[in-house]
Amino acid sequence: MKVLIIVPAYNEAIIIKSVLESIINENPNWDILVINDGSSDKTGEIASELKKVKVVNLPCNLGIGGAVETGFKYAFFNNYDFAVQFDGDGQHKASEINKILQPLIEGSADVVIGSRFLVKSSNWKPNFSRRLGIKIFSLVNSLLIKQKITDNTSGFRAYNRKAIEFLARDNYPTDYPEPEAIILLGKNGFKMMEVFVEMQERAEGKSSISGLKQFYYMFKVLLSILVSSIRAPIEKKPN
């Protein structure tokens, strides 16, 4: 069973080493791929110092969609059975990776989303506008794919081989990949499920989406979701 942990990272030099070491300590048999998304700091250099870690240094900043799709392509062409998307900013816990891998191993899902909202937790408390956006995305996406997804913006996800191949073939959304991917996968017959995971506040920095930008972001994401929802299902290519 080959497992690849995909870590998209942009200017995470302060925290990236501890994030990667936490994954290595959790299971040294997992392979780790850092997608250094055109960082202007030493994110790529620091990640490269760890022997268990492979690094792809993108020549410019593609954004989270382009970075994660790069990871899917690597996973597909190197024949990984499972891939886990794990953010490089310290919000995710390596101790929760096995939890989102297990349904894939059992064959009960193609994609597993780590959700902050299946259980009430004191570790992560979004502000009002973010809570509102989360509820709206959940309602809209759930109506469109007829399956309730509570955490549409979670970047902590696991994929089986079938989903990896599908997303590696230039199908992964680039603008607002997390909520759009749920529509894309749902419309194309992939079985998704959520499991509760504990998350923590990012170790350094703050979100670039704050204040009134959050409402503008919600509008753009909803528009993008609606456009994705009217696209015809993508014909799956044979293996």
pLDDT in tens, 10-30: 999 999 999 999 999 999 999
Taking alpha carbons only, the member of 5, 8, 26 closest to residue 16 is 8
Residue 6 has pLDDT above 80, yes or no: yes
Residue 89 has phi, psi (to 5 degrees) of -100, 5
Give the Å distances, CA to CA, from 68 to 34, 80, 83, 110, 196. Answer: 10, 15, 11, 17, 22
Give, for 158, the enclosing helix (H) or strand (E).
Answer: strand 157-160
CB contact at 8 A, 154 and 116: yes
Q: Across the beta sheet with 31-36, what order do the strands follow?
A: 53-57, 31-36, 3-9, 82-85, 157-160, 111-115, 192-196
Number of CB atoms found within 10 A of residue 239's CB: 6
pLDDT digits (tens, 9 = 90+) for 65-78: 999 999 999 999 99
pLDDT digits (tens, 9 = 90+) for 105-122: 999 999 999 998 888 765
Give the Å distances, CA to CA, from 99 to 112, 133, 172, 194. Answer: 9, 26, 24, 10
Q: Which amino acid is at 43?
A: T
Ordered DSSP codes for 61-86: --HHHHHHHHHHHHHHHTT-SEEEE-
Ordered structural domains, the chain, with CATH: 3-229 (3.90.550.10)
Q: Which residues have CB under 8 Å from 48's CB, separation 6+?
A: 55
pTM exceeding the 0.75 threshold for the entire prediction: yes
Q: What is the pLDDT of residue 170?
A: 81
